[in-house]
Structure 1
Amino acid sequence: MKRFFIPIISLCLIAFTFTSCDPKEPEPEPEPEPKEEVFVSKTPENRNILLEEFTGVNCGYCPDGHRISDQLHATYGDKFLAINIHAGDYSGGYFNTPEGTALNSAFKISSYPSGVISRELVNTGTKVVFGISRSSWGDIASQIMAKPSYVNVAAKSTIDSASRKLTCEVQAYFTDSSPVAAGLNFINIAIVQNNIWAKQSGATNFYPEMYDAATQKYRHNHMLRTLITGVDGEAMPENKKETLYKKTFTYTIPEMISNEAVVLKDVEIIVFVTQNKPSTIPVPIQDASQFVSVINVCKSALTFK
Structure 2
Amino acid sequence: MPELPEVETTRRGIAPHLLGHVIERVIVREPRLRWPVTAAFSDGLQGRVIERVERRGKYLLLSNAAGTALLHLGMSGSLRVLAADAPPGKHDHLDLVLDNERCLRLTDPRRFGAALWAGAQPLTHPLLAALGPEPLETDFTAKYLHARAAGRSTPIKPFLMDSHVVVGVGNIYASESLFMASIDPRRAAGRISLERCARLVSAIREVLLAAIEQGGTTLRDFVGSEGKPGYFRQRLQVYDCAGQPCPRCGTSVVQLRQAQRSTYFCPHCQR
With the shorter chain as reference, the TM-score category is under 0.3
Greater Cα radius of gyration, structure 1 or 2: 1
Q: TM-score, normalised by structure 1?
A: 0.25
Structure number having the greater strand percentage: 1
Higher RCO (CA < 8 A, seq sep 6+): 1
